[in-house]
Amino acid sequence: MSSSLDNLKITLSGRLMYYFFPLRKRIIMQNIDRVFKSRASKQQKINLAKAFYSHFLTTIKEIISIRWCNQETLRKKIDIKGLHHLLSAHQHQRGVILLSGHVGNWEYVPLLALPTLTTLQGHFYIVRRAIRRKWLEKTLFQRFEQANLPILESRGMLKSMPKLLRENKIILFTFDQHANTDENHGIAVDFFGIKAGTYKTLAFLAGKSGAQVVPTSYYRLNTGNHVLEFHPALPWKENQDWQQAVYDNTRLYNQAIEQFILTNPAQWLWPHRRWKLNDVEEAG
C-alpha cells in the first residue's frame, strides 16, 4: 500500500490550495484516516491531501477544456484498455452495467471516450444524480446528451433500467455515493471496513435481469493522458436468501471500488461524505 502513497504528484497549486483554500479539508483528512488507518504515516496522509487538491484543480481545468479545445485532440489523450471484457459481457445479451466510481476524471473520460466505441454507438446510458445547481446540471447533462449518451435520473432508474437491460443496453453507474438507507434506496455495507450507505439497486437489477456487471475505472497518468479501463465481469454470488444475495453482491461491488481507490488514491473524491451513515451514528 505504501508504494501508492510514495509517488504522489503534488503541484504548486495543490500545495497552495491545501494551505490557503482547504476545501472540506476536515472531511478529506477524516476519510483518509478511515481508509488508511495506521497503514500510512501522518506525512503520507498530508501528502495525499495535497495530491488530491492537485488532482481536483487539474480535473476542473480538463472539464473546462472540453468546451474550448478540439475534442478529437482531447480524445487522443485517452487510452482504452480491456475493451474485450466489455464486448464479451455484451455478447450475453442480458445488458451490461458498468460499475464505476468517482476516481480519475469521471466527467471528462466517459464523455470523450465512450462515443469513440463505434460498434456500440447508441447502446450507452449514464445514470446521474440530480445536481442542486440547476445551471451546472444543465451544462453537464447537455454535453452527454449531445454526445449520444442519454442521462437516466438515479431516482427513477428502477423504472427505466430493466427495459434497457432487456434491450442489451450498456448503463454506466457511478456507485460510490452515499445512499440513504431510510428511503429504501440503500443498505449499510462495509466500505473499507466501515459501514456505508450503499445503493442496492445495482445488485437488485443484476440479480433479476442477469445483466453482466463490468467494473470500469478511469485514471490520469503522470503524462497527463488518461486511461479508461474495462475489467473482467464480476460473477453473481448466489444465495437462496435474496436479501443476503443483494448484500453479498453489493459488498463485492464496493470491493471493486476500493481497489480503484487504492490503485490511484490521489484521484478519488475524498471530500464526499461517503460514510455519512457512520457520521450520523457517531453524532447520535
Whether residue 19 is found in the same domain as residue 137: no
Which residues neighbour 228 within 8 Å (Cβ) at sequence distance 6 or greater? 78, 79, 80, 81, 109, 110, 113, 114, 216, 217, 218
Give the global pTM.
0.93
CA distance 50 to 145: 34
Does residue 105 share a domain with residue 21? no
Q: Are residues 84 and 184 in the same domain?
A: yes
Asked whether residue 33 falls in the same domain as residue 108, the answer is: no
**What is the pLDDT at residue 191?**
98
The single-letter DSSP state of residue 232 is P
Q: What is the mean pLDDT of residues 133-160?
A: 78
Of 66, 91, 120, which closes a domain? 66
The string of DSSP codes covering 96-133 is: EEEEE-SBS-TTHHHHHHGGG-GGGTT-EEEEEPPPSS
Does residue 108 have a pLDDT over 70?
Answer: yes
Under DSSP, is residue 228 helix (H, G, I), strand (E, B) or coil?
strand
Q: Does residue 85 sit in the same domain as residue 169?
A: yes
Per the structure, the complete domain to which residue 13 belongs is given by 2-66
Same domain assignment for residues 179 and 57: no
284 has a pLDDT exceeding 50 = no
Same domain, 9 and 101: no
Question: With 80 as the cut, is the pLDDT of residue 55 above it?
Answer: yes
For residue 136, give the amino acid letter: L
> Would you state the pLDDT for residue 220?
97
Place of cell 471528462: 108
Instruction: Give the total number of structural domains in the chain.
Output: 2
38, pLDDT greater than 90: yes
